[in-house]
Structure 1
């Protein structure tokens, strides 16, 4: 990215290219009449789909002259850009909007608006369709090019999504108290060397060191700031219907992934029923095996597809069942029927990091020392322990080839109480 003003002036003098777009701004009163909102959205999305770049508003693309924008209109332009990024681009585009002073050819100082557009983790669609940037112009993507881009930015890429860098973040957002827990006696003494070796940071395509997706998910207190849907949405309902009127408890569970796992299990433990009978001594029967619940939540958090924008893990607790929705299809060539027999990890790096996190859940019956063991025992535990407790086998379903749903049935009350 170009930072010094002198370097930016040199680039303006050379004109537009793949990473620089120049535009003048026209007003009618306080209303922006040019460029058109849809056209601006197409330009921003095309750049995000292609390469990290800069858009400068207030510079003529033909003459390269710095026209500037009225200083009293800067806030109007900023609001206009925010609306375009959030409302006209799908998924919404995260870019940096800055008001900048720059020197024109006569030595005067003029205000322009600078938009730093990162190469996105996602494929963006704008009002005109799906665009990419070729040289100084945008071009619609042919179906084969679009399919290839989706593949590159999905689980099938050579560099897995959980190892991708987040270009809007800096390494100092990673909290030492969180990443130091992954150190061992064999780890490099140098912090940066250690972070790179663990792939918590990596160089982006411009050679700048950035946090990776896994770094943000495991070593920041609020990963949802950079990955908006990286949390668990938990809801407990009274009865058996998904109805807001019957909602008993709800929580958006955020934090590092190991914290999300712990808090999701606590949510279920807090809201499920525990039945007690005297035969002759008191015997307690929970609705759900917490060991099975733990394995289910770990699988959802560790194996979800974090590249899918707008989808979060959903945990719905009813009187008669638990439903857990995890974004993403089944990895590789696995099927629903083979889940209990085969092992495949979508997020290898995340799985290895969770395998270094000590158990933080009271999962009764678990023999784990660490959150993940990577032996593929999770699904068999979910099935056998849940079926033993409730008499019903848990069910996995793939919804629209985009979301995996697990239903764990609750144990019935020994008193014959109605689940509602």
Structure 2
């Protein structure tokens, strides 16, 4: 959007509109006096809540004249931009910030800063509230329109979040080796058609083909470039509590699982297998039997459910896995869908991410240790939760249990088996 020099010069000549905001930068000593951090946040959030746009700093909007920014003050301006995006906008924005030069009235090249904001998957709040871009100005979003916008850009809308095209992403990140594994029948259909049938790509409001959230999560080697919170954070602790930082070696191991979701699932299972304790018992008639702290089948089902059913519309929230000496905790972002509660999980099914669940049900199982009971990553018969509960109880005699945290995160606690309690 307004990416070339000629496009920018032509837009400056025509003046501000729904896609361009121009600001002169003023200083008091070495500090930026205007625009303020809150003012910048309001402009950028309004673009994100609308169709996207460009904020051009170093251009006076009334006279449409390039003023420029002194070279030694560009860093200070960029700091204001960065802090506005990170501190004054909820959820934060990650715009494209570019330094370039444009000619002033005398033809002399002057440094300016171009900030490009894409139409967002989320609804953003800034110090001015929930704003949108209307022509050359920003306006508060009326309550009825705001309700519709939240519906369109959240889990509750008619088009599920995992089927939404990701703004700013092209089909290039989708790796053919990854998305082809979901194609049931080979044919001569164009790539876009095949991806659309899989709900891995869709056309946006402008008719451009873009990967969906589900498409990036299972069809890209690096989905985190566009969905930075779509990963598993795993930590193994030495004891039974999270010791405050600064005390002795309380973390045994820590790792972030990134990449396609199926790899994240396998990597998280490998993390648990690596860090859990395994006790060995001699059998009465010779030989020995190993007793792990956790049933890996239960762990696999739990991690799969966590990534398949989490709410990907919650910015900054990731799946968290915490391994303690006496339990495994798995945190999955989001409320339970529809009218479900923790008591009904074992009896009912409800998929928040229907496209994602469908793809995981076609995703081949690559971990040979799970192959005897599962050909594909996910089971669509609703047996995951019963398996978790049954396997955990049979192994250690203690039940696994779910609970909601602040109505925004689902926690599963799997007790560790106690070797000392075994005969």
The 3 A distance-change label for structure 1 pair 206 and 53 is: farther
Match of 1:268, SS state, is helix
C-alpha separation in 2, matches of 1:147 and 1:184: 39
Deviation at 1:328, TM superposition (A): 0.4
Q: Provide the TM-score with structure 2 as the length reference.
A: 0.90
Equivalent in the alignment of 1:359: 365
- Alignment partner, residue 323 of structure 2: 317
Cα deviation, residue 203, structure 1: 2.5
Alignment partner of 1:273 out of 268, 274, 277: 277
1:258 to 254, 259, 262: 262
Task: Provide Cα deviations, 1:233-289, integer angstroms capped at 9, x if missing partner.
Answer: 111122221225422121111121000000111111111222222232422222211
Q: 2:309 — aligned with what? A: 303
Are 1:132 and 2:132 an aligned pair? Answer: yes
Q: Is the 8 A contact 1:187 1:194 kept in 2?
A: no
Q: Does 2:151 correspond to 1:151?
A: yes
Q: CA deviation at 1:384?
A: 1.3
Q: Structure 1 CA distance, aligned partners of 2:134 and 2:333?
A: 33
Tell me if structure 2 keeps the 8 A contact 1:253–1:260: yes
In the aligned structure 2, how far is the partner of 1:173 from the partner of 1:24? 37
Asked if 1:212 is matched to 2:215, the reply is no
Q: Secondary structure at the match of 2:373?
A: coil
Offset at 1:98? 1.7
Instruction: Name the SS of the counterpart of 2:348 in structure 1.
Output: coil
With over 3 angstroms needed to count, the CA separation of the structure-2 counterparts of 1:398 and 1:388, relative to structure 1, is: same
Deviation, 1:402, is 0.3
CA contact (8 A) 1:24 1:58 kept: yes
CA distance in 1, matches of 2:6, 2:242: 59
Deviates more, 1:100-109 or 1:113-122: 100-109
Unaligned runs of 5+ residues in structure 2 are none
Change (3 A) 1:364 1:70: closer
Mean alpha-carbon deviation: is it higher for 376-385 or for 50-59? 50-59
Return closer, same or farther for 1:148/1:10 CA change in 2, 3 Å cut-off.
same
Distance in 1, matches of 2:350 and 2:421, equals: 42
Map 1:361-400; keep pairs closer than 5 Å: 361-362=367-368, 367-400=373-406
TM-score where L is the length of structure 1: 0.91
User: What does the per-residue CA deviation read over 1:23-78, in whole Å, with 9 as the maximum and x for residues that have no partner?
Assistant: 11122343222111211111111211222111112222222233333445444433
Instruction: Look up the match of 1:249.
Output: 253
The answer to whether the 8 Å contact 1:275/1:414 transfers is: no
1:41 is paired with a residue whose SS is helix
Structure 2: distance between partners of 1:240 and 1:416:
21
Q: Deviations over 1:305-334 (max 9, x none)?
A: 111112111111112211110000101121
Task: Give the drift of 1:401.
Answer: 0.9
Q: Secondary structure at 1:277's aligned position in 2?
A: strand
Q: CA contact under 8 A between 1:294 and 1:363: conserved in structure 2?
A: no
CA distance in structure 2 between the partners assigned to 1:353 and 1:365 by the alignment: 18
- In structure 1, runs of 5+ residues without a counterpart are none
The residue aligned with 2:57 is 57
Shift of 1:407: 0.8
**Alpha-carbon distance in 2 for matches of 1:406, 1:93:** 31
